[in-house]
Amino acid sequence: MSPCAGPIRLGRDDWFRRVGEVASSVGTDGFHQQLVELFGSTIPHSASWIIRYSRVAPPDVIYTWNVPQDVVEFYSARCAPLDPFSAHWKRFEEPGVRTLAGFDREDGAAVDPTPYNRLFKSAAKITDELGVFFSTVGNSSLGLFLEREKGRFTAAEIERTKRVFPVLDGFHKTHIGRIFDRLRFAGEANETQLAGRPTLVLDRHGLEIFANAGWRDAAAGDPSIMDAVASAGDERQVALPEFLLKIERFDRYFPLAPSGTMFVLAPKPETGGEAAVERPASPVEIGLTARERDVFDLVMAGRTTGAIAQSLQISKGAVKNLRLRIYRKADVSSERALVQKFGRLTA
């Protein structure tokens, strides 16, 4: 079924089936795609978008359906700075429902949609957009949008969207909450145990998205913690007087903080003052070649793919392939699992 198949009437069995599909996707990478499909199932439309709006960065297109790639590129290059939805959110930062046509109808509107309409509507071959904005998290908000090729979204459709909005926003908040919960995992071998270690999340501009009470207390008592955060480079962990500062960098699609960074304070292991690495007696026993062992050693030292490639004077692609071979031989599926299995560099 395509995302625009329908429309589905609220309260019908097929509506609740869609709601169930969204509920089961909470906390997964495909959640927001499921959410925009639920939104679109009640309103006829020709295309859909998911866009992240930020106070400090241009609008970022996260997902589209039935939108030509050249239109997405044109929006990002030419139209994003003129986007009236973005301008409205930056001014008011309010969740809710809006239409593109609605900007035209408002007397004394704070946002002028004319430049955007002239450029984007003709390029995208649309006549109206219907959008919902979710609650602000940190410095950003997520918007879901439906587009129409002919005619405007009607008052009845806008009212229907307002009735659905609490469901959509509630799911979104639950999804974000699930991600926050995951950020509290200590990353120990048994990841079902929630440790609540001091945690800080920064967006790609270095602005705070999240910090728990443990982090605030620790940072207040030890200024070196925030100094280490400010100076963190490619390291995966930094030794501090009382803690190990563990660093994880998110990719651009991570829903909480795209291209952001998470910092977690872990207890410093008792090592008698000496740096130590706990490993099996001989990784050669799992069949590593000499080159794989070189990569293995650097991974265990917390080096990034780029740093490993530079150190060994090979390409990043070659490093990634060597990593995969090491994971297979070690019977793990990730770098985290490899470190957990063979020991942790404690600096």
Between 272 and 87, the higher pLDDT residue: 87
Write the Ramachandran bin of 335: left for phi over 0, alpha for psi from -120 to 50, otherwise beta.
Answer: alpha
- Most confident range, picked from 125-134, 167-176, 185-194: 125-134
pLDDT of residue 105: 60
pLDDT of residue 276: 40
Residue 149 in this model has a pLDDT that exceeds 60? yes
**What is Dmax (Cα atoms) for the chain?**
75
Tell me the per-residue pLDDT of 20-32, one tens digit each, with 9 for 90 and over: 999 999 888 788 8
Q: State both tokens at 202.
A: 């920064």
Residue 246 in this model has a pLDDT that exceeds 90? no
Rg (CA), the chain: 24
Is there a common fold for 187-267 and 283-342? no
What 3-state class would DSSP assign to 183? helix
Q: Which of 50, 51, 69, 49 is nearest to 60 (CA)?
A: 51
Distances (CA, A) of 285 to 280, 324, 346: 9, 17, 23
- pTM of the full structure: 0.59
Domain boundaries 13-182, CATH class? alpha beta
For the domain covering 283-342, report its CATH number. 1.10.10.10
CATH number belonging to the domain at 187-267, selected among 1.25.40, 3.40.1840, 3.40.1360, 3.30.565: 3.40.1840
Tell me the per-residue pLDDT of 201-226, one tens digit each, with 9 for 90 and over: 888 888 887 787 788 888 998 889 99
User: Could you tell me the residue ranges of all domains in the chain?
Assistant: 13-182, 187-267, 283-342
Residue 57 in this model has a pLDDT that exceeds 90? no
Tell me the per-residue pLDDT of 77-93, one tens digit each, with 9 for 90 and over: 999 999 999 999 888 88
pLDDT of residue 321: 81
